[in-house]
Amino acid sequence: MKTYKKILLILGVILLTIFVYAMGINYYVKCTVMDRIKDIDEIKDVDTIIVLGAKVHDDGRLSLMLKDRLDKTIEVYNKLNIKKVIVSGDSEHKDYDETTKMKEYLINNGIPEESIVVDIYGLSTYDSIYRLKNVYDINKSIIITQKYHLYRSLYIANSLGIDAYGIPSSGEDYFGQTTRELREILARNKDFLTSLFNVKSKYLEKGN
């Protein structure tokens, strides 16, 4: 019985240590980039936007989350002197294509096609930001996504040497958001490590 209790105690200490570590990294990632999240009027001399992909439904409809990101992109494009918009998402396979739908939406809402660069290999947040720097040679950019997602995106950018600012898209009250926020804590821990070791993206060629 004493051995059993000792094992439970050891397991409890291990789990507590993991939890404290994970929450510490989560807090660190958020704190280091809070000052990089800006309102549109606070940003000067940045002419490139990267908008991160999100779910596209089977019938081709944009998820509300993705639509909000693109609407914010259109707003920023029209208010600032933006020359290039990079749409980065998962279009690796023919049966699922985020970036084509993103591009179509932007064009249909007044952004010239020649201003849009399509990155079909933004398979993850880390891939999108890594490729921004190492494939498209962008060293200064505005990142557009939801605020909870901006912390990780900006942390990756900062770690990879990109002078990035984040503008949050409207809305945070999406279906399943609580679960998404919890998963994001784990994702921040994962990308803390991938950024630390400068892990190469799966694809290193331009995807447009």
With a CB cutoff of 8 Å and minimum separation 6, the contacts of 130 are 156, 160, 199, 200, 201
Other Cβ atoms closer than 10 A to 105: 19
Q: pLDDT by residue (tens digit) across 142-158? A: 999 999 999 999 999 99
At the second CATH level, the architecture of 2-196 is: 3-Layer(aba) Sandwich (3.40)
Share of the chain above pLDDT 90, in %: 83
Question: Once rounded to an integer, what is the mean pLDDT over residues 127-152?
Answer: 97
Distance in angstroms (rounded) separating the CA atoms of residues 172 and 150: 12
Averaged confidence pLDDT in the chain: 94
Q: How far is CA 53 from the centre of its chain?
A: 8
